[in-house]
Structure 1
Amino acid sequence: MIRAVVGALGELTVLAPDRIVAAFERVAVENLDDVEPRRGTRPTLRAEGAAVVALALIGGRVYALAMYVTGAFGTVLLVVPPAYRAIAGRILYEDPDAVEWKPGFDTFLRLVSAAYALLGVRELRRDRDTE
């Protein structure tokens, strides 16, 4: 079930990267009129979505490994949200220093990070149960 949801989110990212970016920015960025996304952001996001769909369809060990990485990433961001802001600003925007993050973004980020961490833990538990 979770794998199907992950795949559907990947598909949504492939089909509507502009909406994904707009939703992210509504939650995260205070000064949308003052920042310019990097040119390659949308194609990169679309490629990431395609990779997620492929992982969900393939399943098995490859999917499990991807969930371990997702879980580790989520765990780090759960503890250190400023690391995400620093990385995301540099990856997503032409002038990362111009980005003003919304005050409540860290709370939202922690919720998403917790979900990522739980995906990783779930996959670890499934691995242990099948051994």
Structure 2
Amino acid sequence: MLRKLLIGFGCFEIVRPEPVMDMCERIGLENPDEAELRPRALWGARLEGLLFVWLLVRGREGTTAVSALLGLAGAVLVLLPQPIIELSQRVVYENADDLELKPWIEPAARALGALYLLVVVLSMRGEEATESDEVLPEVEPKSTA
């Protein structure tokens, strides 16, 4: 179920990245109305959605390099969010110096990193593992011999 939800989110982010970016701005910025996205910022959001879908659909057959990169990004966000927050502000916004971050931006960045790690773990488990988790195992009858 979680896999399907994340695949749906990834598909939505590929097709309509603007609402996702708007939501992230409202979560992380005191002044989201002043944010000036760089022209290619929406393509970065689409790429994130594509990575989610690619890994979750392909499962163990997905590219190991993609899993490693998303896992590394997730681990860095969980452990050291501040440098990544600063870098992403510079990459995504034309006016990064004018934007005021909300106090909970670091926990939000750590949560995003945890989401990346969750996608990697789910992709490594494969579809068959998640299906077997939802179905109770069959019990063989004991023989009386």
TM tier, smaller: 0.7 to 0.9
The one-letter amino acid paired with 2:6 is V
Distance 1:50 1:120 in 2: 13
Judging by fraction of residues, say which structure has more helix: 1
- State the Cα deviation string for residues 92-114 of structure 1 (Å, max 9, x = none): 10022222111111112222222
**Paired position in structure 1 for 2:114:** 114
Q: How many residues align?
A: 126
Distance 1:123 1:16 in 2: 23
Identical amino acids, percent of aligned pairs? 28
Decide whether the 8 Å contact of 1:56 with 1:63 is kept in 2.
Answer: no
- State the Cα deviation string for residues 8-29 of structure 1 (Å, max 9, x = none): 2210102221110110001011
The one-letter amino acid paired with 2:83 is A
Decide whether the 8 Å contact of 1:72 with 1:120 is kept in 2.
Answer: no
Correspondence list, 1:44-59, <5 A: 44-59=44-59
**Paired position in structure 1 for 2:83:** 83
Distance 1:19 1:7 in 2: 17
Q: Report the alpha carbon displacement of residue 76 of structure 1 after superposing the two structures with TM.
A: 1.0
**CA-atom RMSD, angstroms?**
2.6
The 1:65–1:123 alpha-carbon spacing in structure 2 relative to 1, beyond 3 Å, is farther
Distance 1:46 1:4 in 2: 18
Largest Rg, 1 or 2: 2
Q: Is 2:15 the counterpart of 1:15?
A: yes
The 1:25–1:79 alpha-carbon spacing in structure 2 relative to 1, beyond 3 Å, is same
